[in-house]
Amino acid sequence: MQMLFVLLSFLKRPKTAKTQKLGHLYASSYFSGAFASSLAVKNNTDNPEEIFVAGLLYRLPWLALANTFPYKLKEMEKLIADKNVSNNK
């Protein structure tokens, strides 16, 4: 049900380059949290909600850059792609 709500809320937004990029980042953040939470439930952890929040926060730096400096983020992504550098370090 939550995934349906997220999908429908993204479909209603106007499609510009910035909102599409933000939409992808928000979706990535949400699904990272959902995936982490499902792993936590499978491993019988005490508080899967905390793991969900940790998964959400995984993409927080990228969301902050996309909201405040969209052109700098685009340049940074191009440099990462050109030099084949991992963004997970």
- pLDDT tens-digit map of 28-40: 888 999 999 999 9
* CB contact at 8 A, 55 and 36: yes
- The residues, any chain, with a CB within 8 Å of residue 49's CB and separated by 6 or more, are 37
CA dist., res. 74 & res. 2, Å (int): 30
Is pLDDT above 70 for 20? Answer: yes
Query: What's the first-to-final CA gap in the chain, in angstroms?
Result: 33
- pTM, rounded to two decimals: 0.63
Residues 6+ apart with CB under 8 A from 13: 19, 23
Domain spans in the chain, listed from the N-terminal domain onward: 18-83
